[in-house]
Structure 1
Amino acid sequence: MLNNPTKFLFVMTLMMGTLISISANSWLSAWIGLEINLLSFIPLMTNSQNLLSTEASLKYFLTQALASATLLFTVITSGLIFNLSNLNLSFNPFLITLINSSLLLKMGAAPFHFWFPGVMEGLNWMNGLMLMTWQKIAPLMLLSYNLTMNLFTIIIISLSVLLGSLGGLNQTSLRKILAYSSINHLGWLVAALTLGENLWELYFLVYSFLSASIIFMLQTFKLFHINQIFSMTFIPPVIKFSLFLTLLSLGGLPPFVGFLPKWIIIQTLVEANLLVLVTLMVVMTLITLFYYLRTSFGAFMLTYAETPWNINYHQNNMIFSLSLFLAVCSSLGLIICSLLFNMF
């Protein structure tokens, strides 16, 4: 991607748009940052080798344009009625709900998630990673200014974890599985937003690290569907094991590092006396973990034929070392973090 000067320019403006949004001191400048970010991402999505990329670009553009129009309409309305342009709109619950809805639509949180799996299916892995991680930073930051734990927020969290879990059950495409997983994680992120800034930042960092670890390996070996994983005879078993270890960590299975932010959020929600919500979130995450385990069992349990002349076919030392390092970070991260916490 970065070998092409045009794409490099769009990556730079995409990052600049996000930075403008998160450092804005008015809703208008935040909207400008979101628009720069959107118009930079569209050219990066187009790919002549993928027939679905044009459809994905159009879906993404129309959805984001609708969200931006809603945001701008609300901001202009609040400016005309209340003569205010700052980021705090705590005096009017209706305006807050409208702005939060437009930002949730930009992220793809349920029930505004209808575009997300379809767009993911039309992207290559690197763009998919960008959509799952970087593109969520600005809306999450703007959402954190006015979001409180009320009925609207509880409905959003519940629907995100519910639809994110159930939606991935009947999928065979790895991109759609990760898309529905992302919707599920958004439910946790929104819950973390209401509890404190450090919580959602920790969750987002761990989620981004694990998603990047998985997608780099899937991109390296050109894997897009579950049935390709079962026929990976050309991949060294250690790399295969690393991939699925990281996948289980992304699902939040103890004792992997993916469980650490969920553990902290569960504890904080219990302290806030939101027992019904936290029970729903945990149960739905177990369903997400089920389809990760279903994907992983084939690699962990089943033996497969490996022809001698294929053993070193993809034996790249850098990939081998990287996957091993990521697997170690993923599996031992929770233990290391617990030790560090007890030491300091």
Structure 2
Amino acid sequence: MYFINNSSKMFFTFILFFSSLIAISSNSWFGCWIGLEINLLSFIPLISSPFNLLASEASLKYFLTQSIASINFLFIILLKMTLFKNFSMDNMISIMINSSLLMKMGSAPFHFWFPSIVEGLSWMNNFILMTWQKITPMILLSYYFNKNFLYLMIIFNIMIGAIGGLNQTSLRKLMAFSSINNLGWMIFSIMISENLWIFYFTLYSFLISIMFLFFFNLNMFFINQLFINNIPPLIKMNLLINFLSLGGLPPFLGFLPKWIMINFLMMNKFYLITFLFVIFSLIIIFFYIRIIYSCFMMNYFKMKWMKIYLKNNFIWMMNFLSLISISSMILSTFLFF
């Protein structure tokens, strides 16, 4: 595995963003496949590292799983253009195309690769994987989706995302299962409206960027580090606010897109899916509160010498972002009244 410098990383990052635009703006399925392949080949050098065996293993796993999904995607679009050209098999073709795209974005039940790859990546690469890498498959999914099949996948996402995070001690895996749960909300939002999906996705990206910035600056990867290290009380409070906001608890910012979704679901009589969304969101909030409880209440005296020093600029920035998360509910109240 070779080493790439900062200028090369900037180049591959540019190609990563550009390839997504190619796939989204293409007027044929074959052009979409080319964009997805360029995206895959530009992300591999960003996540691989000769100094980290976990990163090298993660890049290999990512390449294999994405290649399988790409092969399935290419196979079905070739069948659609040749053998099934004169036959009405739209239902089967849409399910197969949707399955390939769901596998690419790490959606349940095709999520088997996602938590293990997340565990081997840095926080910055995880942020790209959980945000930008979901944009292209999700927009392609909105072009040609099977509604009944996606309803089932949405239920799988919210269930597996909530239950899978209960027994995790790794912060990266916990954020991965949280991402799977939010993916269920995002798939439903893009089925309703692209504008709603953009709104939900933007707020979700904003909230996890705050969390990843926390963990990156505090150099934390496991739950026990939150109470072993001496974290300043103000930072603990900011962590509490942003965790609860990410879980979708009112009166925080993360509740706003979920509130809009629940309003739409109730107006259109999706009572069962609404019930499942709410119940499994409570499970997500439960394991977030469990983390915060250990951070606030537990004290570990052996490691008192591990004092964390944070720059004032970082603390003020976190305070400002947390203030946005709290005060935004005032705006969201006026949206409905």
TM-score range, shorter chain: over 0.9
Question: What is the match of residue 299 of structure 1?
Answer: 295
Question: How many angstroms apart in 1 are the aligned matches of 2:306 and 2:121?
Answer: 30
Question: What is the match of residue 50 of structure 1?
Answer: 52
Question: What is the match of residue 152 of structure 2?
Answer: 155
- How many Å apart are 1:303 and its aligned residue? 6.4
Q: What SS is found at the alignment partner of 1:147?
A: coil
- How many Å apart are 1:322 and its aligned residue? 1.1
Amino acid at match of 1:94: M
Question: What is the match of residue 70 of structure 1?
Answer: 72
Contact 1:161 1:281 in 2 (8 A): yes
Question: How many angstroms apart in 1 are the aligned matches of 2:334 and 2:301?
Answer: 41
Question: How many angstroms apart in 1 are the aligned matches of 2:124 and 2:288?
Answer: 21
Deviations 1:37-72 (A, max 9, x none): 100001111123322111111111111001111111
Question: How many angstroms apart in 2 are the aligned matches of 1:140 and 1:307?
Answer: 45
So what's the TM-score if we normalise by structure 2? Answer: 0.93
1:270 aligns with 2:272: no
Kindly tell me: are residues 309 and 78 of structure 1, through their superposed partners in 2, closer, same or farther at Cα, counting changes over 3 Å? closer
Deviations 1:222-242 (A, max 9, x none): 000000011231x32212211
Question: What is the match of residue 112 of structure 1?
Answer: 110
Contact 1:148 1:194 in 2 (8 A): no
Residue correspondences, number: 335
Q: How does 1:100-249 map to 2 (within 5 A)?
A: 100-150=98-148, 152-233=149-230, 235-249=231-245
Amino acid at match of 2:26: A
Question: What is the match of residue 283 of structure 1?
Answer: 279
Kindly tell me: are residues 211 and 71 of structure 1, through their superposed partners in 2, closer, same or farther at Cα, counting changes over 3 Å? same
Kindly tell me: are residues 35 and 172 of structure 1, through their superposed partners in 2, closer, same or farther at Cα, counting changes over 3 Å? same
Segments of structure 1 that go 5 or more residues without pairing to the other structure are 85-89
- How many Å apart are 1:82 and its aligned residue? 5.6
Between the aligned residues of both structures, percent identity stands at 48
Segments of structure 2 that go 5 or more residues without pairing to the other structure are none
Question: What is the match of residue 317 of structure 1?
Answer: 312
Contact 1:11 1:40 in 2 (8 A): yes
Amino acid at match of 1:55: E
Kindly tell me: are residues 291 and 44 of structure 1, through their superposed partners in 2, closer, same or farther at Cα, counting changes over 3 Å? same
- CA RMSD, aligned part only? 2.4
- How many Å apart are 1:309 and its aligned residue? 9.0
Question: How many angstroms apart in 2 are the aligned matches of 1:317 and 1:47?
Answer: 32
Q: What SS is found at the alignment partner of 1:52?
A: helix
- How many Å apart are 1:10 and its aligned residue? 0.6
Question: What is the match of residue 34 of structure 2?
Answer: 32
Deviations 1:264-316 (A, max 9, x none): 111111122111111112111111111001001123445677999987x5231
Question: What is the match of residue 97 of structure 1?
Answer: 95
Contact 1:52 1:123 in 2 (8 A): yes
Contact 1:133 1:208 in 2 (8 A): yes
- How many Å apart are 1:136 and its aligned residue? 0.3
Q: What SS is found at the alignment partner of 1:47?
A: coil
Question: What is the match of residue 326 of structure 2?
Answer: 331
Question: What is the match of residue 10 of structure 2?
Answer: 8
- How many Å apart are 1:93 and its aligned residue? 1.1
So what's the TM-score if we normalise by structure 1? Answer: 0.91
Kindly tell me: are residues 36 and 179 of structure 1, through their superposed partners in 2, closer, same or farther at Cα, counting changes over 3 Å? same
Contact 2:227 2:299 in 1 (8 A): no
- How many Å apart are 1:145 and its aligned residue? 1.2
Moved more, 23-32 or 134-143: 23-32
Q: What SS is found at the alignment partner of 1:74?
A: helix
- How many Å apart are 1:195 and its aligned residue? 1.3
Q: What SS is found at the alignment partner of 1:73?
A: helix
Question: How many angstroms apart in 1 are the aligned matches of 2:305 and 2:152?
Answer: 55
- How many Å apart are 1:2 and its aligned residue? 10
Kindly tell me: are residues 192 and 91 of structure 1, through their superposed partners in 2, closer, same or farther at Cα, counting changes over 3 Å? farther
Kindly tell me: are residues 308 and 75 of structure 1, through their superposed partners in 2, closer, same or farther at Cα, counting changes over 3 Å? closer
Kindly tell me: are residues 52 and 304 of structure 1, through their superposed partners in 2, closer, same or farther at Cα, counting changes over 3 Å? closer
Q: What SS is found at the alignment partner of 1:226?
A: coil
Amino acid at match of 1:212: S
Contact 2:108 2:180 in 1 (8 A): yes
- How many Å apart are 1:81 and its aligned residue? 3.8
Q: What SS is found at the alignment partner of 1:268?
A: helix
Question: How many angstroms apart in 2 are the aligned matches of 1:294 and 1:309?
Answer: 25
